[in-house]
Amino acid sequence: MDERTDAQLLLASRAEPAAFVEVYRRHAEDLLRYFARRTLDPEAAAELTAETFAEAFASRRNYRDTGANGVAWLYGIARHQLGHFFRSGRVDAAARKKIGLPPTDLPLEDYERIEDLVDFAPIRAALAEALTTLPDDQREALRLRVIDALPYPEVADRLQCAEATARQRVSRGLRRLALVLQEEGISMTAEVE
Amino acid sequence: MDTEIRFLQILEDDFLELAEADATQTTARAKRRRRGTWIGAVAGIAVLAFGIGTLTGGGLLGQQARRAAEATSVVGVGQGSQPRAPALLPAPQPANAGALPVARHALSGAGSTSGAALPDATAATPPLTDLSKIVRDGSIALTIPDGSFNDRFARVIAIARQGGGFVLSSQTQGASSGSLTLRVPSAAFDQTLVRLRALGVPTSSTVTGKDVTAQYVDYQAHLKVLESRRSVLLRLMSRATTIGETIAVENELNDVQLQIDQIEGQLRFLDDQVAQATIDVQLLEQHARSTIVAPGDIQNPSLGRALQRAVQGFLAVLATVVVGLGYLVPVAVLAGIVLLIVMLVRRRDLGAT
């Protein structure tokens, strides 16, 4: 276990790139949760996490220790990526291309695990209202998955479609829902910092 | 990593690979940067040294510049190579001293000759003032007004004759430029140069003096020895009683006579060289200036000459850098000592805190 602080690790990573991996290990899951709670979209959250760490890796030589915890710098990049995502509706891939990070599809089993990171309880009522703005197929998939809390195989059975299609509908529905909630100023959770 | 999310695990592996690749690149980049820093530092020091060398007038460049300035100023005041004469005069003294062992060696080699020749050879040595045998050459390039080439050409010939000399060779290019080689008595050398300068605007001029005194004295001493040997052989010839002895002495006599003739020829040649100076004159009308650079270039354009100049140029720059380094090294040592003290003080302060 590396005893160094985040700031020390980030500074060390200029000459010792392996130190960056330790920063990743410490904060990757928190950052994924941060994105998942704001986008409600496991795919987008995973991509944003990868892009944020890629951007941090590419610009780690610009990091200056200002006395604050090093993780604040990381979340600064995350907020920037999230803002870009909400403005354009897509996740930027510039940093991943820049450092040569290979693209990775989100494994099927990760959809549920990422959704588990999001605590939907506090916003269930708001979600039910926002659901009315979604197309029928996405609304039904979301209702089964989020409100009724059914597992994906069962959601697929109910919708009479393949499990992958069910996941896709839920994912797209969540992404749209997040945008609606964002516009209405409903915060999913307090920021992880 | 403590997570069940497969995506994050894959991403971790990707970042591990990237970190390893980046570490390799960082090391290589650091090496390149270090090498680049060293090359830059050496180049910077060389340029600095060159600058200092040039400023202080060191190296061949400085010497060449000084030499050129001297040559110009000498001719400029119309005194020819007079300032160089004192430097050339002392040369005969060691040369004369060196001539004696040569003479003794020649005597001992003569075998049957008596030692009487030695005092003769020493006694015959001329006084110091007569020993100065200097072959003088000069060249001058003149820019003359347009349309005046024929007139100036004729006046150069007249100046040569006026000084008791003559035109050895001449060459003209069109009706605007040409060159002449003059031979004038050494006594009239300086005066002739002054007269030539008045014909136009001098663009370059050189005066060189080659000291052949040592060579001349050597020949003279050798000649005396051979003459002594010849007189001994003549005496032996008169005492020869058998045909075998006569033939042997005659053969020896022929050899000695041949050597005497050769040395006398060399002495006559040197006398002629010393008595007559050579002056190359380059005439060039104003509008034709750009086509010709210097007399030497026109007369002998060759690849070998260019190569020689290139080597000289290279060595001149190198010499200038070396001179500059001479100034830099003590400064660098002082700076190093100061830096060392500063580092030691800082380390001590850090240790204290």
Same-domain check for residues A78 and A160: no
Confidence of residue B338 (pLDDT cuts 50, 70, 90): very high
pLDDT digits (tens, 9 = 90+) for B196-206: 988 888 988 88
CA angle (A187, A188, A192) in 5-degree steps: 100
Per-residue pLDDT at B140 exceeds 50: yes
pLDDT of residue B298: 52
Complex ipTM more than 0.90, yes or no = no
Contact between chains at A110 and B7 (C-beta distance less than 8 A): yes
Residues present in chain B in total? 353
Same-domain check for residues A131 and A178: yes
pLDDT of residue B80: 37
Q: Residue type for B61, please?
A: L
What DSSP string describes A75-134? Answer: HHHHHHHHHHHHHHSS---HHHHHHTPPP-PPPHHHHHHHHHHS--GGGHHHHHHHHTTS
Q: Which residues does A159 contact at the CB level (< 8 Å), separation at least 6? A: A137, A140, A141, A144, A165, A166, A169
Q: Assess if residue A107 is contained within a domain.
A: no
Region B279-299 average pLDDT: 69
Q: What's the CATH code of the domain at A125?
A: 1.10.10.10
A191 contacts chain B (CB < 8 A): no
Same-domain check for residues A21 and A93: yes
Q: Assess if residue A125 is contained within a domain.
A: yes
Q: Assess if residue A178 is contained within a domain.
A: yes
B59, two tokens: 């190296």
Same-domain check for residues A91 and A127: no
Contact between chains at A104 and B22 (C-beta distance less than 8 A): no
CA angle (A149, A151, A152) in 5-degree steps: 120
* Burial class, B122, CB count within 10 angstroms (exposed 0-12 / middle 13-18 / buried 19+): middle
Confidence of residue B29 (pLDDT cuts 50, 70, 90): confident
Nearest residue in A to B2, CA atom: A25
Q: Give the domain range for residue A78.
A: 6-99
Least confident among A143-157, B70-84, B172-186, B249-263 = B70-84
B-contacting residues in A 81-140 (Cβ below 8 Å): 99-102, 104, 106-107, 109-110, 113-114
Region B109-136 average pLDDT: 50
Chain B residues at the A interface, defined by Cβ less than 8 Å, are 1, 3-8, 10-12, 14-16, 18-20, 22-23, 26
Of A20, A25, A110, the CB nearest to B6: A110
B188, two tokens: 């009239």
Least confident among A36-45, B124-133, B143-152, B197-206 = B124-133
Per-residue pLDDT at B325 exceeds 50: yes
Q: Assess if residue A106 is contained within a domain.
A: no
Q: Assess if residue A190 is contained within a domain.
A: no
Q: Assess if residue A109 is contained within a domain.
A: no
Last residue of a domain, one of A44, A71, A99: A99
Q: Assess if residue A105 is contained within a domain.
A: no
Confidence of residue B258 (pLDDT cuts 50, 70, 90): very high
Contact between chains at B5 and A15 (C-beta distance less than 8 A): no
Same-domain check for residues A94 and A124: no
Last residue of a domain, one of A99, A128, A156: A99
pLDDT of residue B299: 54
Same-domain check for residues A46 and A130: no
pLDDT of residue B105: 38
pLDDT digits (tens, 9 = 90+) for B86-103: 333 333 333 343 333 333
Q: Assess if residue A113 is contained within a domain.
A: no
Same-domain check for residues A85 and A11: yes
What is the CB neighbour count within 10 angstroms for residue B65?
A: 13
Same-domain check for residues A10 and A95: yes
What percentage of chain A's residues is helix, strand, coil (to nearest 5)? Answer: 70, 0, 30
**pLDDT tens by residue, chain A, 193 residues:** 678 888 899 999 988 888 999 999 999 999 999 898 888 888 899 999 999 999 999 999 888 877 767 788 898 899 999 889 888 888 989 999 999 998 888 998 888 888 888 776 666 667 777 777 888 888 888 888 877 778 888 889 888 899 899 998 888 888 887 777 776 665 544 333 3
Same-domain check for residues A76 and A24: yes
Q: What's the CATH code of the domain at A13?
A: 1.10.1740.10
Same-domain check for residues A91 and A128: no
Confidence (pTM): 0.40
pLDDT digits (tens, 9 = 90+) for B232-241: 988 888 888 8
Same-domain check for residues A10 and A90: yes
Cα distances from B85 to residues B16, B133, B267, B283, in angstroms, run 83, 11, 22, 28
Phi, psi (deg, nearest 5) at residue B240? -65, 135
* Domains: count for chain A: 2
